[in-house]
Structure 1
Amino acid sequence: MHTDVDRCVRAVQSKDERFDGWFFTAVLTTRIYCRPSCPVVPPKPENMRFYPSAAAAQQAGFRACKRCRPGASPGSPQWNERADLVARAMRLIADGVVDRDGVPGLARRLGYSTRQVERSLTAELGAGPLAVARAQRAQTARLLVETTTLPMTAVADAAGFASLRTFNETVREVFGMTPTELRARAKNVPNTLGAIVLKLPFRRPLFPDNLFGHLVATGVPGVEEWRDGAYRCALRLPHGHAIAALTPHDDHVACRLTLSDLRDLTTAINRCRWLLDLDADPVAIDERLAHDEALEPLVAKSPGRRVPRTGDPREFAVRAVLGQQVSTAAARTHAGRLVQAHGDPIEDREGGLTHLFPTPAALRDVDPDTLAMPKSRKATLLGLVSALDDGALELAVGGDWVEARRTLSELPGFGPWTVESIAMRALGDPDAFPATDLGIKTAADHLGLPVKPKQLLDHATRWSPWRAYAVQHLWATGDHPVNHMPKDDR
């Protein structure tokens, strides 16, 4: 979008927050870059330059605006809508792969050469993977500087900087202030109990009922809970684990993170954003779905529905198998038993979370006789965890949606419902559509849509590429707990 100068100028002049994260505005006279909705008086059009990423603006010599904090804007929705090399790379960079494994590690995960990855990102983003990761580290550093009392050496290490000198130079270059000056300006009170509190922005509107209702109604005991108006979950992260508490508000989601290792902060933030689908473009999605007269009143009633996702794609795949042909309550019971028997214990000083969901390696040697499910489903579960543990099946935020579907379909016991459910909630494919789902078939019948899967799939082509969002509207026609914001603690 950044190449459409006239459209960008109009967005900046109208301070249109819908375009935050789509592009960044740099001002030649001040050498500052901003988000489109920056509250300051817009500069003259001839003094504006537009960049596709914060990293590109930084590489061009601009520093971040102190008013609008462009690094904290919602991410571009493109990276979660697409399955090409650049989109997959951006999802992996957000998950911290470059910080942990470098650009060669990123390239290996993507199945391309390092040179091809660098060339592709630079062509579209105006910056390579190292620069994109650097911009992300700078934002993480600012968050730690302003919301904790950690020594600067600890901040530099947690944010992923190789040295204190590099940390100081980057912060000064990106924000126009030293780390000490940033901390002096901060108004936030340091967090208690080692938690970090922040706001997760999103593009409005956001309809939270089905989003939080679904996560809580299907939540695994010991791993997820609803407490004091927040959805709380235990996340397994590269260096340890985190407990996240997420509370919806009109213009943000409050996020409280308790981390066992601060190096996981950036990954934890981005997994929470992914979990809640906060980088979606609800206006574009709703506009497409509302073209169908069957969905139009549903969209008008509750605009901004999101797809409830998962913090760990491999975990969700296991849960999808446990949920085959059983009720939500039964699936939760099966999952809760696995967690108590094979999950890693954790301490939760603020709630009732007790375990991390077990890894495929931990589940691989489960005694089938301990699983209270049909023999065929036991074989399906054990086949899945073996494929995940062996690496024959890759389920990750930066994975290949087509390849994952193909591999899943070849495993015993995996039909269209399970495959599409995993594609929708674990892999984040916005066009996933489990046409054989009972709730979807019931809703289709109620709305006068085709009920048979083939005919319904044919009709649903008009909803592409947003069929996963159509699913949320169809499910919402039923009176199930997944459609309602929780009222009581669990």
Structure 2
Amino acid sequence: MLGDVILQGLDAERCYRAVASRDARFDGWFFTGVHTTGIYCRPSCPARTPLARNVTFHTTAAAAQHAGFRACRRCRPDAVPGSPEWDVRADVVARAMRLIADGEVERAGVPGLAGRLGYSERQLNRLLVGELGVGPLALARAQRAQTARLLIETTTLPMADVAFAAGFASIRQFNDTVREVFATTPSALRPATPRVDGGAPGWLTLRLAARAPYPAEEVLLFLGAHAVGGLEEWDGTTFSRVLDLPHGPAVVQLSPTAGGISARLRLSQLRDLGAAVSRCRRLLDLDADPVAVDEVLGADPALRELVAAAPGRRVPASPDADELAVRAVLGQQVSVAGARTLTARLLTTAGTPLAEPVGTLTHVFPRAAALASADLSTVGLTGARRRTVGILAAALADGTVTLDPGADRAEASRDLLALPGIGPWTVAIVAMRGLADPDVWLPGDLAVRKSLALVGSSDTDAATRWRPWRSYAVQHLWALAVPSLFTRHPRPVRSSS
């Protein structure tokens, strides 16, 4: 029966318990299709709990839509955090989901998506349908619908502009999808007074949801402590940076808000909105499951107090893994301040100036091809470090090393390690903060070793027992060793002995 497809690993009894208790921790993990109303909801929907016999569960909004359900207008299931499963897993389905979220289907179609993953279209479709109940087109369509809703509600753009900015091929396709997904017309979705950014032409303001607890101030402070002049800016409350998007540069300003982050975006092309949101979510680690992480790490005697003092701690990543890889090389064996200085010099030497500066933001980080041919003699790098940057940039430019959202993490790490001048520490940093791998250990990191001594643990022991959340364990250990990166008024670091 249509709609009765239960996805692999989805426990109906457990899902129903979450729905009955309106447990917001599961928002984004799965969606509830209610047969008596024909709608699908998030688990925490405040509406009356349906009877168990009247519901089915789906791990994606696309699957719920494919099963004939429309989005609930009360709980807005399309506005929840994404499933953390796609960040944890490293298989082809997870890699495909990360690429689809980044807009690969809109840019290159299903053939391009399949090519990025090294599969035929037929193989990829079979894998996605077999596990999720829908193929890549349906998944991309659900994302287009969500982007369209954001634009309808937060701008005064004509509907035709919204349609094409969201990635629809035609006005008719846009109208049909909105009616099918939201059970209303596009014009009816637009509020009488759209929530546009007051007095700031060209800017969009969005709320990026996160699973609680979410330490927004800490995440932004960490990013601000690593901010590179010209590319990033930190004023004590708001972290701003330049994004290099597929159709042009953008600027985003991120600040704390209730339940997540407020993002003000200035895009060169509105059709990059979906990619911008996806990259901001990765930057801020918004789709993590903090309860699962804290349960594992908090059960370990060595980390118990650290986890209790900072529940929900996140691992900020990068919106561009190629950029992070270059910055990791520049940061080898130098302080945070030294790495920022070198990166700022490289930015002005090889980066692309913005058409119009936004505050102190002036340049787009150089893409790999431009960096490979740039003269970096004035940046202040040693000869060996300069050669490493050139070799890395060339490898990224010609595809020898691939670090896009759909990259095979293990393969990417092997390819990076094969490059001269790049060792295990750099590879691990790229995996953790470039590829957003939640289970990375930093071999030989001095701050980590200092903290391990304080908590009475060993590098060898810790490298295995904190799986699958070793990246978060590293973040806790960094916070113990260098508290100024995590809090404005750090407490003295004390030994546990």
TM-score of the pair, normalised by structure 2: 0.94
Determine what percentage of the aligned residue pairs are the same residue: 55
Correspondence for 2:469: 466
Moved more, 180-189 or 368-377: 180-189
Q: Measured at CA, do residues 209 and 444 of structure 1 come closer, stay the same or move farther in structure 2, by a change above 3 Å?
A: farther
Contact 1:360 1:385 (C-alpha < 8 Å) held by counterparts: yes
Cα deviation for residue 271 of structure 1 reads 0.4
Q: How far apart are the structure 2 equivalents of 1:103 and 1:23?
A: 24
Q: Measured at CA, do residues 393 and 442 of structure 1 come closer, stay the same or move farther in structure 2, by a change above 3 Å?
A: same
Correspondence for 2:389: 381
Contact 1:210 1:476 (C-alpha < 8 Å) held by counterparts: no
Contact 1:52 1:126 (C-alpha < 8 Å) held by counterparts: no
Q: Measured at CA, do residues 366 and 79 of structure 1 come closer, stay the same or move farther in structure 2, by a change above 3 Å?
A: same
Correspondence for 1:482: 485
> In the TM superposition, what whole-angstrom CA distance separates every residue of 1:414-442 from its partner, at most 9, and x where no partner exists?
11111101110001111111121111011
Moved over 6 A (4+): none
Cα deviation for residue 241 of structure 1 reads 1.4
Select 1:131's aligned residue among 110, 126, 138.
Answer: 138
Select 1:85's aligned residue among 92, 99, 108.
Answer: 92
Contact 2:196 2:205 (C-alpha < 8 Å) held by counterparts: no
Contact 2:222 2:486 (C-alpha < 8 Å) held by counterparts: yes
> In the TM superposition, what whole-angstrom CA distance separates every residue of 1:447-479 from its partner, at most 9, and x where no partner exists?
1112xxxxx134321100110000010001124
| Letter paired with 2:464 | T
Contact 2:114 2:121 (C-alpha < 8 Å) held by counterparts: yes
Contact 2:409 2:435 (C-alpha < 8 Å) held by counterparts: yes
| Letter paired with 1:471 | V
Cα deviation for residue 283 of structure 1 reads 0.5
Cα deviation for residue 347 of structure 1 reads 4.8
Q: How far apart are the structure 2 equivalents of 1:35 and 1:306?
A: 23
Select 2:308's aligned residue among 275, 300, 307.
Answer: 300
Q: How far apart are the structure 2 equivalents of 1:109 and 1:5?
A: 34
Contact 1:2 1:8 (C-alpha < 8 Å) held by counterparts: no
Cα deviation for residue 183 of structure 1 reads 1.1
Cα deviation for residue 269 of structure 1 reads 0.4
Q: Measured at CA, do residues 471 and 366 of structure 1 come closer, stay the same or move farther in structure 2, by a change above 3 Å?
A: same
Q: Please state whether the residue corresponding to 1:241 is helix, strand or coil.
A: strand
Select 2:183's aligned residue among 144, 164, 176.
Answer: 176
Cα deviation for residue 371 of structure 1 reads 3.2
Cα deviation for residue 163 of structure 1 reads 0.3
Is 2:21 the partner of 1:21?
Answer: no
Cα deviation for residue 278 of structure 1 reads 0.5
| Letter paired with 2:227 | G
Contact 2:349 2:376 (C-alpha < 8 Å) held by counterparts: no
Select 2:453's aligned residue among 445, 451, 457.
Answer: 445
Q: How far apart are the structure 1 equivalents of 2:319 and 2:416?
A: 19
> In the TM superposition, what whole-angstrom CA distance separates every residue of 1:21-48 from its partner, at most 9, and x where no partner exists?
1110111111010000011111122111
Q: How far apart are the structure 2 equivalents of 1:126 and 1:186?
A: 38
Is 2:283 the partner of 1:275?
Answer: yes
Within a 5 Å distance, the mapping from 1:413-432 to structure 2 comes to 413-432=421-440
Select 2:124's aligned residue among 113, 117, 121.
Answer: 117
Q: How far apart are the structure 2 equivalents of 1:332 and 1:240?
A: 24
| Letter paired with 2:114 | A
Q: Please state whether the residue corresponding to 2:473 is helix, strand or coil.
A: helix
Select 1:365's aligned residue among 354, 373, 381.
Answer: 373
Moved more, 371-380 or 158-167: 371-380
Select 1:58's aligned residue among 65, 69, 75.
Answer: 65
Q: Please state whether the residue corresponding to 2:43 is helix, strand or coil.
A: coil
Q: Aligned pair count?
A: 482
Cα deviation for residue 68 of structure 1 reads 0.7
> In the TM superposition, what whole-angstrom CA distance separates every residue of 1:346-393 from its partner, at most 9, and x where no partner exists?
156652211111111111122353231222111111111111111111
| Letter paired with 1:242 | A
Select 1:346's aligned residue among 322, 347, 354.
Answer: 354
Q: Measured at CA, do residues 270 and 256 of structure 1 come closer, stay the same or move farther in structure 2, by a change above 3 Å?
A: same
Is 2:50 the partner of 1:43?
Answer: yes
> In the TM superposition, what whole-angstrom CA distance separates every residue of 1:35-94 from its partner, at most 9, and x where no partner exists?
000111111221111111111111111100001110111101000001100000000000
Cα deviation for residue 266 of structure 1 reads 0.4
Within a 5 Å distance, the mapping from 1:111-260 to structure 2 comes to 111-184=118-191, 188-189=195-196, 192-227=200-235, 229-260=237-268
Q: Please state whether the residue corresponding to 1:7 is helix, strand or coil.
A: helix
Q: Measured at CA, do residues 184 and 251 of structure 1 come closer, stay the same or move farther in structure 2, by a change above 3 Å?
A: closer
Q: Please state whether the residue corresponding to 1:141 is helix, strand or coil.
A: helix
Is 2:424 the partner of 1:409?
Answer: no
Q: How far apart are the structure 2 equivalents of 1:85 and 1:347?
A: 38
Contact 2:34 2:56 (C-alpha < 8 Å) held by counterparts: yes
| Letter paired with 1:352 | T
Contact 1:83 1:400 (C-alpha < 8 Å) held by counterparts: yes
Q: How far apart are the structure 1 equivalents of 2:263 and 2:460?
A: 37
Higher relative contact order (CA 8 A, sep 6+): 1
Q: Measured at CA, do residues 368 and 8 of structure 1 come closer, stay the same or move farther in structure 2, by a change above 3 Å?
A: closer
Q: Please state whether the residue corresponding to 1:46 is helix, strand or coil.
A: helix
Cα deviation for residue 171 of structure 1 reads 0.3
Q: Measured at CA, do residues 32 and 327 of structure 1 come closer, stay the same or move farther in structure 2, by a change above 3 Å?
A: same
Contact 2:327 2:339 (C-alpha < 8 Å) held by counterparts: yes
Q: How far apart are the structure 1 equivalents of 2:146 and 2:391?
A: 41
Correspondence for 1:453: none
| Letter paired with 1:60 | A
Contact 1:148 1:196 (C-alpha < 8 Å) held by counterparts: yes
Q: How far apart are the structure 2 equivalents of 1:316 and 1:188?
A: 34
Q: How far apart are the structure 1 equivalents of 2:217 and 2:81?
A: 21
| Letter paired with 2:275 | T
Q: Measured at CA, do residues 2 and 198 of structure 1 come closer, stay the same or move farther in structure 2, by a change above 3 Å?
A: farther
Q: How far apart are the structure 2 equivalents of 1:185 and 1:4?
A: 41
Q: How far apart are the structure 2 equivalents of 1:105 and 1:114?
A: 9
Q: Please state whether the residue corresponding to 1:273 is helix, strand or coil.
A: helix
Is 2:331 the partner of 1:323?
Answer: yes
Correspondence for 1:457: 460
Contact 1:376 1:413 (C-alpha < 8 Å) held by counterparts: yes
Q: Measured at CA, do residues 246 and 348 of structure 1 come closer, stay the same or move farther in structure 2, by a change above 3 Å?
A: farther
